[in-house]
Amino acid sequence: MCPHTPTCPDAAAPDREAARTIISHPEQGWSLLCNGIVIFDDTGELLPGGDSIGPHRPTDMPLQTQGAGHYSGPAAAPGSPAA
Ligand SMILES: [Zn+2]
């Protein structure tokens, strides 16, 4: 069924998202992979058997790990404008 070499990962394989995209509709936010999986922009997936997988990659999530937003770098000392 898969014409590619090497063959695409099966829909049940851990690396199933590595399958080739055979139909892409970015304007609609989804793509069909060679192994039958429909993958959405938000990383949700629709499997060939009808199961669905929710978004599971942090692409759309705010960065709220380890308080990285407050780090301003070693050179940015307060009260010292760049002369
Ligand atoms: Zn393929």
Residue 44 has a pLDDT of 93
Q: CB under 8 Å to 53, separation ≥6 — which residues? A: 44, 45, 46, 47
Ligand 1 centroid, distance to 2 Cα (angstroms):
4
Mean pLDDT in order along the chain per 10 residues (83 residues): 93 94 97 96 92 78 54 60 59
Question: What does pTM read for this prediction?
Answer: 0.66
Sheet holding 38-40, edge to edge: 21-25, 30-33, 38-40, 45-46, 52-53
pLDDT at 45: 95
CA 49 / ligand 1 centre spacing (Å): 18
Q: Where are the domains of the chain?
A: 1-55
User: What's residue 1's pLDDT?
Assistant: 76
